[in-house]
Structure 1
Amino acid sequence: MFETTDELLKQIRLGEDSSLELKDLRYKGNQVNDPHRNSMADELAAMANTANGVFVLGVDDKSRTVVGIPEDKLDVVETWVRGICNDLITPQLFCRIRILPVTTNDGEERLIIRVDVPRSLYVHKSPSGYFHRIGSSKREMSPEVLFRLAQQRSQARIIRYDEQSVNAAHRDGLDKALWEKFKTPLSSKDDEEFLLKLKLLTQDEDGNVCPTVSGVLMATHYPQEIISNAFIQAVAYRGTERNAAYQLDARDIVGPLDIQVAEAYDFVKKNMRVYAVKEPARRDIPQYAMQAVFEALVNAVAHRDYSIYGSKIRLHLFSDRLELYSPGSIPNTMTIDALSQRQSARNELLASLLARCPVLLPNYDGEREFLMDKRGEGVPIIITESEKLSGRKPEYRLLDDSELMLTIFAAQPPHGED
């Protein structure tokens, strides 16, 4: 849509329609003061709920005059737009934001910001409710329209979320050093063809090639810059309570998902206690079976719901237990009790990619060659290895039908140790 700047300027001269929105911005200090964030969120969500569209910032919608954006405000405006998409629209909205220089009728060059809004696979809610776009205006959806749209979008999500295009990211953002490990001798020699077949890249409805959610998560160094909740919050506490006063260690673990697994694994290993007994030879007893911890971390990054904004994986260590929270419910056909007997992958593409990532952990005592197991052994290993060490079976709980919590109990210290 509007492939060239000339095409875009021609459309601007014609004015707003169902696929074009023009905005002139006002500033107060180092902030965008007008339009209001909530109003802008409503407009963006309405576009995503309707069709592919473009917002042009720095153009007066009444006179259709390019007023431009001051150069010192470009970062401010981009941060403002990203914040709206991430914080005020549910689920978060992926937009592509570009700075464009344009020459006006009087021969001056001015800067505008183009925001490409894709027609989403989801129905987005904004601060004032659910909106769609009719012509150049947004309209609140009636219950009947909302229900029908939700049905249509649900059927459209035959394309799974992990395969959805991320228009906010550029195809060149995928790092070859990160995706080359997925290649085999039979893989295409053409990089783009290979990435499209692997579904790390995809074509959106306009034919533009851009990364998928899986491409961002597996082949970029900082996926949380695009998918802001794609990280692990790790905290270690001295006692049994979640209290900042007793915090021993904390960090946000970021990076590609295979790196997140490795660094979270190291976090547990670094912060857990290891007891020593003589029988008569020395024998070390760790608080946690690290093979079980490894499987739990892989399952968390592979099966969590990445569409839930603001919910990251949480890894919390206490003196008596490890708690791992993974955003998202379990599939409707499964129960907590059936987790160890059944398989169901929310993110099939991610799971297949993790199954091709080698285990690169020093001193890993499991028999796994690759991160993901396709035989459904992960949960049974978590249960049996943890129970063997601590004498207590790990517990799975579903919190508010939106978060899966796993508790692994720590091994008891040998007699005479605390």
Structure 2
Amino acid sequence: MINNTELVRELIYQIRLGEDSAYEFKALTIHDNKVTRPHRDSVADELAAFANGSGGVLLLGVNDKTRDVEGIECEQLDTVELWLTNMASQAIDPPLPIETRRVEIPDRQGNLRPLVWVRVAKSLFVHRSPHGYFHRVGSSKREMSPELLARLFQQRSMVRLIRFDEQLVPNAGPDDIDPALKARFLRGDLPEALQLKKLYLLLEDENRQPRLTVTGVLLLTRRPADFLSSAYVQCVAYSGRERNAEYQLDAQDCDGPVDEQIQQAFAFVRRNMRVEAVKRPGRIDIPQYDLGAVYEALVNAVAHRDYAMHGARIRVHLFADRLEISTPGGLPNSLTVESMDANSISRNETLVNLLSRYYPADPVSRRQNLIERRGEGVPTILAASERLSLRRPLFEQIDHTELKLTIYAASRASNGLVAQFDDE
């Protein structure tokens, strides 16, 4: 991160030169603790234009016409930052991550004036702001033509064209890597950056700056959702058979590195599922779910979800009679619900490759690695679950945007289990 002295020097130089493709100035009028000028929608358009282009900086407190440093009153800085945060999350779709800093710049008389510096990184996504889709052309924003917009959607929806999990995340760099998480990937005496590049965890952007890839963010950062806002698993357990907050028993957001997300979600299911018993003559436990099948299902969800879908997280919901795992993204390529148990196609090839090589599995899965690429995951889920509950799990593709797996619960009374044990 640039230090304050260097930042102030850069800003003084830039204010003297004026706006360009990477800098926009705005003076503010604040009345009754509300920003009354400029209009929120206009500023949202500016932020989205930077994100849809190569990124840029919005400097608040500088007159864009005269280049005078007008500043912001110190007691109003919190108001301005709240205004910006709400704008970036509510007026732009998908919501836009921004970085803000407070700096002091001298005006023409040499008096220090507080400003708010706002940096917007080039985005993985295409953002719509209140007046449409904008990009930066020179020192101004322009609405994109249908042709340009179509090309941008194509370029930034790389999951449809090339591997999305190898795309760079513009605002994620080497400083965001957790040292403990990268240790498993480092071997021998080769430079660390070179090793990470060979594994497609770290690459260089168009300015030759190192940036984490999507896979790098998922495996090397302590909280991937800080960079890919939906990259976590939401777990909820209900006492009944419907999704009703009044009957919620337990809830957890699993938002660590993706291998930890799998382990956390698995532990959530294990602690919330019931285990009944039959004494015939000794005790026979009847768990609601086969834990090996649950583990396979969670691994599949995390490894094969569509990380390009903004605002869609993996949902693990336990009910009294079933477990539902909803995964963002339709089935890849020509795969269908009917062919899932016979064919195996990876959406995130780089992520799957690294999970299969560097991550040991939980003992309950009876496997050596987190992913073993033999295409046996879905058959295991189906066979093991049906053997326990006597009902075959159900895969459903919802509107080509979500894959839902329903695993039916076993119990003493349901699916003939009491009779089955009585016969033994």
**In which range does the TM-score fall when normalised by the shorter chain?**
0.7 to 0.9
8 Å contact 1:86–1:228 — kept in the other structure?
no
2:353 matched residue in structure 1: 352
Question: How far does the alpha carbon of each residue in 1:120-170 deviate from its partner, in whole angstroms, 9 at most, with x for none?
Answer: 454332233222233323232333332344345557985633333333334
Given the superposition, is the C-alpha separation of residues 81 and 182 from structure 1 closer, same or farther in structure 2, using an over 3 Å criterion?
farther
- 1:399 maps to what in 2? 398
In 2: Cα distance, 1:296 partner to 1:100 partner: 49
Structure 1 residue aligned with 2:15: 12
Q: Aligned residue pairs: how many?
A: 412
Which has the higher mean CA deviation after the structures are superposed, 76-85 or 13-22?
Answer: 76-85
Cα 1:302–1:58, aligned 2, differ >3 Å: closer, same or farther?
farther
Structure 2 CA distance for partners of 1:264 and 1:154, relative to 1, 3 Å:
closer
1:39 and 2:38 matched? no
- Which is further off, 21-30 or 312-321? 21-30
| 1:109-258 to 2 correspondences below 5 Å | 109-120=112-123, 122-153=125-156, 160-183=163-186, 185-186=187-188, 188=190, 190-258=191-259
Q: Secondary structure at the match of 2:25?
A: strand
Letter in 1 for 2:387: K
Bigger mean CA deviation after superposition, 257-266 or 214-223: 214-223
Q: CA separation of 1:225/1:298 partners in 2, compared to 1, >3 Å: closer, same or farther?
A: same
Distance 1:357 1:36, change over 3 A: farther
Aligned-pair CA distance for 1:267: 0.7
CA drift of 1:83 comes to 5.0
Q: 3-state DSSP class of the match of 1:411? A: coil
Superposed, 1:355-374 pairs within 5 Å as: 355-359=356-360, 361=362, 364-374=363-373
Corresponding residue for 1:380? Answer: 379
Deviation at 1:99, TM superposition (A): 5.0
Contact 2:94 2:127 in 1 (8 A): yes
Paired AA for residue 292 in structure 1: A
Residues 218-367 of structure 1: matches in 2 within 5 Å?
218-359=219-360, 361=362, 364-367=363-366
Measure how far apart 1:85 and its partner are: 4.3
Instruction: State which drifts further: 368-377 or 394-403.
Output: 368-377
Q: Distance in 1 between matches of 2:121 and 2:155?
A: 16
CA contact (8 A) 2:62 2:69 kept: yes
- 3-state SS of 2:259 partner: helix
Distance in 2, matches of 1:85 and 1:161, equals 24
TM-fit CA distance, 1:321: 0.4
Amino acid at match of 1:352: N
Q: TM-score, normalised by structure 2?
A: 0.85
Asked whether the 8 Å contact 2:124–2:170 carries over to 1, the reply is no
* Superposition deviation, residue 87 in structure 1: 4.5
Deviations 1:303-336 (A, max 9, x none): 2222323222111101110011111222242222
Equivalent AA in structure 1 for residue 386 of structure 2: E
Task: Give 1:178 deviation, angstroms.
Answer: 1.4
TM-score (norm 1): 0.86
In structure 2, C-alpha distance between the alignment counterparts of 1:16 and 1:85, rounded to whole Å: 22
Deviations 1:268-314 (A, max 9, x none): 11010111123333221210011111111111112222232322211
In structure 2, the CA distance between the partners of 1:147 and 1:167, relative to structure 1 (3 Å rule), is: closer
C-alpha deviation, 1:36, in angstroms = 4.2
Q: What amino acid is aligned across from residue 309 of structure 1 in structure 2?
A: H
1:331-386: CA deviation from partner (whole Å, max 9, x where unpaired)? 2422221222223322222222322453464xx33222222222222222111111
SS of corresponding position for 1:388: helix
The letter for the 2-side match of 1:139 is R
**Distance apart, 1:96 and its partner CA:** 5.0
Letter in 1 for 2:396: R
Q: Is the 8 A contact 1:47 1:119 kept in 2?
A: yes
Equivalents in 2 of 1:356, 1:214: separation in Å?
14
Work out the CA distance in 2 between the residues paired with 1:159 and 1:26.
46
8 Å contact from structure 2 (residues 287, 411) kept in 1: no
